[in-house]
Structure 1
């Protein structure tokens, strides 16, 4: 059976240099900015919003093919990731970090960065943002209405967290799964190919030393991912309510028109 990815051209023009496989909410936004300043072209999860129907649906397909074994569709490997990631030479955040083993097999020479933070701090941040979003009844319903952005975003997020914690958002579960994610990567990746990076503690020296780049003469970049994530959600919610308002408006107009027609017919 054909897949969406089979219709995508292979636009990979340079080798994949960096796989940042730390979980979301561990400083991936700051690392993205830093990698760009070093001349790389990183694919952060937020890149999906530049072309939502294309990117979200391809990641949904990848998650289904690689983790849910549909049987009639082969998993994503080097060729598929080349098509999906195109001209990017680094990738990070969700959903890419779910594919850490597949991406490592596809790009064995790429260096691995593990962004990390204290597990209690991480789960607090996740509960306010990514976990909160996928548990909102409104968006659980709205996924069936919006097929262009929020619907695919929700479906992709649902798959990610089903893989990560089976959709169980109790703190004791998500904390344990977070720790397991890091331990699996540490056990699988050669130490010389792996950098563990803690935002707020590590900076340019550690990153540039690992990548063989010169240290920029500027402060480590700051990012505000919680505010940015919330802005995306607020925009989506406003657009949804405007859509509902338009439907209600059209319903009122239609009802008035029908009553008028009935009146004159009588």
Structure 2
């Protein structure tokens, strides 16, 4: 979410994020199910958006590079142990409990599970397995996207590397910092 807000502040918005799926389940879940089935319509999926971050997008970096070979890609990363702990306490927990979700949420959760499992993170992984797969995913992205089109980025680096990569001026003010665990649970529970 921090990177989404940063890209929008830099003029690369609106920025597609899982939040866009969550906010329009009826339209967007079928689009991602089509992508999972090998029938994406990227033009329709990203209509009205100038950039995109997060899952489900991250699960299709190879297909998106093939469809948009001149695009710039940002691999947002952090320490594997920090990522595994956060993923385990949020996304993995939510998806493991998807069978108990309210009926309107189930198609979204099944699609999200499919995308995330396809990305190498099926349910039931230990933190050690998550960390290893996180590192493998990052390496696969680096092997797929040409170095000149890829920024390996940690949010804690702030504006400088992102703005240099995107060839834009560094804005005034701090880099956006958001998307903590409480915000995640707020989003998926509808703010209740």
TM-score between both structures, scaled by the size of structure 1: 0.67
CA shift, 1:172, in A, is 2.4
2:141 is the alignment partner of 1:185:
yes
- Pick one of 49, 63, 69 that aligns with 2:22: 49
From the CA coordinates, give the structure whose radius of gyration is larger.
1
**Any runs of at least 4 consecutive aligned residues in structure 1 with deviations exceeding 4 A, and if so which?**
none
- Pick one of 140, 152, 155 that aligns with 2:99: 140
**Structure 1 CA distance for aligned equivalents of residues 71 and 62 of structure 2:** 12
Number of aligned residue pairs: give it: 190
**Structure 1 CA distance for aligned equivalents of residues 18 and 100 of structure 2:** 23
| CA 166–126 in structure 1, closer or farther in 2 if over 3 Å, else same | closer
Instruction: Give the CA RMSD over aligned residues.
Output: 1.7
List runs of 5+ in structure 1 lacking aligned partners: 1-28, 67-74, 239-266
Q: How does 1:80-95 map to 2 (within 5 A)?
A: 80-95=41-56
CA shift, 1:141, in A, is 3.7
Alignment check: 8 A CA contact 2:77 2:154 kept: yes
| CA 233–108 in structure 1, closer or farther in 2 if over 3 Å, else same | same
Q: Deviations over 1:188-229 (max 9, x none)?
A: 2211111111121x1111111100101101111121342221
SS in 1 for 2:174: coil
Aligned to 2:89: 128
CA shift, 1:59, in A, is 1.1
| CA 108–116 in structure 1, closer or farther in 2 if over 3 Å, else same | same
Identify which of structures 1 and 2 has the higher relative contact order when contacts are C-alpha pairs closer than 8 Å and 6+ apart: 2
**Structure 2 CA distance for aligned equivalents of residues 58 and 131 of structure 1:** 22
Q: How does 1:13-162 map to 2 (within 5 A)?
A: 29-41=1-13, 42-63=15-36, 65-66=37-38, 75-76=39-40, 80-136=41-97, 139-142=98-101, 146=103, 148=104, 150-162=105-117
2:168 is the alignment partner of 1:213:
yes
SS in 2 for 1:102: helix
List runs of 5+ in structure 2 lacking aligned partners: none
